[in-house]
Amino acid sequence: MDEFEIISRYFVEPIGYSREHVLVGPGDDCAVAKVPDGFELCVSTDTLIEDVHFPKDAAGDVVVSRALGANLSDLAAMGAEPYGFTLALTLPSYSDSWLSSFSTRLNELVKHYKLPLLGGNLARGQLSVTINIMGLVPHGQALLRSGAGSGDDIYVTGHLGNAAGGLAIVKGEVDADCTELVESYFSPVPRILLGQQLRNVASAVIDISDGFAADLGHLCKASGCGARVSLESIPVSEALKDLFGSEIAQSMAVKGGDDYELCFTVPTRNADVIAQLIRDQEVLVSHVGKIRPELDVEIIDAKGVRISGQSGYVHF
């Protein structure tokens, strides 16, 4: 089966979801899409490589769930509504079962998130997936990393460290079977709706991909400030603590990557607004600390001791 037959069979024919702003979709030299008046376009790109971002021999549905989840999480951090994406897939060889799994899951995800596939590319080589994703925000309302100020409260969504625990299981580093943790790694759930609700409420937002401490550090650097966080306030699931013990679980919550939760700051003037928003959420939202003027991130344990080793994942 050649390149064009693969594209037709697994992507053009089964991935039929579209929206009215897509004027020309897959099949031409470029897609053509309309940006509505009063909106701005948020654009992000991520590349996921086999044996780096997902396990060697991972099934197609796992690969696309992680790839699209990671990209959608970037939109969530900007407060953006999904608009469209392009997909570049590099395959070492043709496999009907792998591509069928990839395509079926991709079709489920584009329908769920109302995210039309605008086009893409297929090549032969080491397995990798590159997604260029786009989202819309009302003019001037994009959420950035750079708006936090001294005294702002710091919040995170979900339970941190679950994906790190799931990865340890997948890699065979621990002999256990915990669906909750493995699914957190295999199928991240981007906080799209909450991100949109944080417009005009949060002062700064970042998604947690490299690890909570590392990404909070990125937010603080962009905002020209620091943070003080209580280790005990960082939300850790019972599943993670039961499997690894509290100390290792807390370390995973601080340093583990791939959570794709949101970390955000809220000024005190919006305290009542965020309190109501949290009450209305189905997803867990936890207050974990405060922004401060000193230019460093402190994570303090129950004894008031600063914990070390807060760096997250880096490629180089």
What does the pLDDT look like over 137-161, one tens digit per residue? 999 999 999 999 999 999 999 999 9
What string of H, E and C letters represents the secondary structure of 69-135? HHHHHHHHHHCCEEEEEEEEEEECCCCHHHHHHHHHHHHHHHHHHCCCEEEEEEEECCCEEEEEEEE
pLDDT at 4: 87
Mean pLDDT of 28-49: 95
The answer to whether residues 44 and 81 belong to one domain is yes
The answer to whether residues 198 and 269 belong to one domain is yes
Q: Is residue 145 part of a domain?
A: no
The answer to whether residues 12 and 67 belong to one domain is yes
The answer to whether residues 127 and 191 belong to one domain is no
Q: Is residue 40 part of a domain?
A: yes
3-state secondary structure of 177: coil
The answer to whether residues 166 and 294 belong to one domain is yes
The answer to whether residues 65 and 101 belong to one domain is yes
Mean pLDDT of 223-249: 97
The answer to whether residues 11 and 125 belong to one domain is yes
Q: Is residue 53 part of a domain?
A: yes
Q: Is residue 108 part of a domain?
A: yes
Asked if residue 206 has pLDDT above 90, the reply is: yes
* 29, two tokens: 């030299």
| Contact assessment for residue 122 and residue 7, using Cβ atoms and an 8 Å cutoff | yes
Q: What is the span of the domain harbouring residue 249?
A: 153-300
Asked if residue 83 has pLDDT above 70, the reply is: yes
**Domain of 253: which CATH number?**
3.90.650.10
**Domain of 109: which CATH number?**
3.30.1330.10
Q: Is residue 11 part of a domain?
A: yes
Q: 113, 138, 163 — which closes off a domain?
A: 138
Global pTM reads: 0.94
C-alpha 141: how far from chain center: 20
CA dihedral 121, 261, 218, 153 (to 10 degrees): 150
The answer to whether residues 55 and 176 belong to one domain is no
pLDDT at 78: 98
The three-point CA angle 203-209-211 to 5° equals 90
The answer to whether residues 128 and 161 belong to one domain is no
Which of 3-17, 106-120, 277-291 comes out lowest in average pLDDT?
Answer: 3-17
Q: Is residue 56 part of a domain?
A: yes
* 149, two tokens: 């100020």
Q: Is residue 148 part of a domain?
A: no
The answer to whether residues 131 and 17 belong to one domain is yes
Overall domain count for the chain: 2
The answer to whether residues 160 and 101 belong to one domain is no
Confidence of residue 166 (pLDDT cuts 50, 70, 90): very high
